[in-house]
Chains A and B, each alone.
Chain A
Amino acid sequence: MKIELTVNGEQREADVWEGESLLFALREKLGLPGSKNACEQGECGSCSVLLDGTLVCACLVLAAQADGHDVVTVEGLGATGEPHPVQEAFVEAGAVQCGFCTPGLVVATVDLLAHSPQPSEDEIREALSGNLCRCTGYAKIFDAVRLAAQ
């Protein structure tokens, strides 16, 4: 089936199989591999995107359900040579180890700061609890969120 959706501010079309996930469509059909494909169970958060402004796991959204909706992926946050302030904070704080969880964490952090520009420690931990970093680099990640909030 054909779907039409807004991705990172651009009107896009994709031909998708009915059971296909939004994540697969983004990565394989729309050329946006920033959202990562790890657990495909909604457990790791590496595929986090904003769907109509709400933080979701793209692996659990069917592409067909995104027809007519608005999606923002990590690629839509900054531009080449002009990273988003949250991305700059992640670099500055050294919050990247293997980097696989980073796009999801960046999207989740942008979502957190949009709702709560000066988050408490508890809010940061709560907001990022759905994003797993298996390098266990959480301390630097929390540093990056605090830096971005300044």
Chain B
Amino acid sequence: MGALGNGTRGLAGGTDLVPLLRDGLVAADRLVDLRRVIPSGIDGTAIGAGTTLAELEADPQIPDALREACRLAASPQLRNMGTIGGNLLQATRCWYWRLNYPCRLHGGDVCHAREGQHREHAIFANDYCASAHPSDVAAALLALDATVETTRAAGPLAGLYRLPDDHDRNLVDLGADELITRIHYERPEQSVYLKAMDRKRWAFALVGVAAARYDDGVRLGLAGVAPIPWRLASLDDLEQATPLPGTAYKLELARALGRRAIAAVGG
């Protein structure tokens, strides 16, 4: 692991990193195949970071929210390849970022999406950068109160993410030589993941809502609404959203999916 850093990138499923390398959005002098290095497989409520989405969607022990989040992600081919660790670290789908516009995430001083095309963008924390985090899995894991174990530390999943600022444009708080090794979740009484997409399969979430019911109440995690996976204490917090003109509809989607998700888990 110490060999990572210095232009070296770890590669697992490759479903995000390979296209990013090809498009010149990520540079690497050297790639290290992590698949035989990082843990994989499911052991109770611990999930090896190298476990594929296809394995998770098929395992009846996995809570419904996470299984559905995996099942509704990408396509069968990509779920066969993509790992849960890589899924948490995937880059934004913001087209300005993907087309290498000099936006804030690329170190520039403007968010092109705010003034431009932003139909698929954020409704929370979108002042500096309006990109929306695409991970269905992260939304489910937020609701499932997950912790992330890395080669250096363990902590709540929410702590893996940060909002970008002038000093640091990263959305992930992970060292260059640090790898996610395992994810642990809390088993809920009941859980669900609901995802609004432009088509029924093989699309990123416009809004994804995960709900999980525990003794002390229902926990909610959202995809597609902020630059990072977004936790809501309750649906009332949707009133704090700051949608852009083109994303006002997402607030309605989040309200509707949130109500349905809470009802579905008996909350």
Contact = CB atoms under 8 A, between A and B. Distances in A.
Contacts of B22: 40
Interface centre among B11, B21, B78 (most CB of A within 10 A): B78
B76 A129 contact: yes
A56 B31 contact: no
A129 B71 CA distance: 12
Contact of A130 (B14, B21, B76): B76
Contacts of A57: 15, 77-78, 81
Contacts of A59: 18
A90 B74 CA distance: 25
Nearest to B201: A129
A18 B11 CA distance: 13
Contacts of B31: 18-19, 62, 64
Interface in A2-44: 18-19, 21, 40-43
Nearest to B199: A129
- The B interface is mostly helix, strand or loop, or mixed, namely mixed
Interface in A44-100: 45, 48, 54-57, 59-62, 64-65
Contacts of A126: 76, 201
B34 to A, nearest CB: 11
Contacts of A129: 75-76, 201-202
B19 interface: yes
Nearest to B17: A60
Interface centre among A64, A125, A129 (most CB of B within 10 A): A129
B200 to A, nearest CB: 8
A108 interface: yes
B80 interface: yes
A48 B80 CA distance: 12
A147 interface: no
A59 B21 CA distance: 12
A18 B22 CA distance: 12
Interface centre among B31, B74, B75 (most CB of A within 10 A): B75
B3 to A, nearest CB: 16
Given A60-B19, A62-B18, A65-B33, A45 B80 contact: no
A65 B14 contact: yes
A149 interface: no
Given A56-B80, A56-B81, A60-B81, A130 B15 contact: no
Interface of B: 11, 13-15, 18-19, 21-22, 31, 33, 35, 74-78, 80-81, 201-202
Q: Which 8 A-B pairs have the closest CB atoms?
A: A130-B75, A129-B201, A130-B77, A57-B77, A60-B18, A41-B19, A54-B80, A60-B14
18 contacts: A21-B18, A42-B15, A42-B77, A45-B77, A48-B77, A54-B80, A55-B76, A56-B77, A60-B81, A61-B14, A62-B18, A65-B35, A108-B76, A108-B77, A129-B76, A129-B201, A130-B202, A131-B75
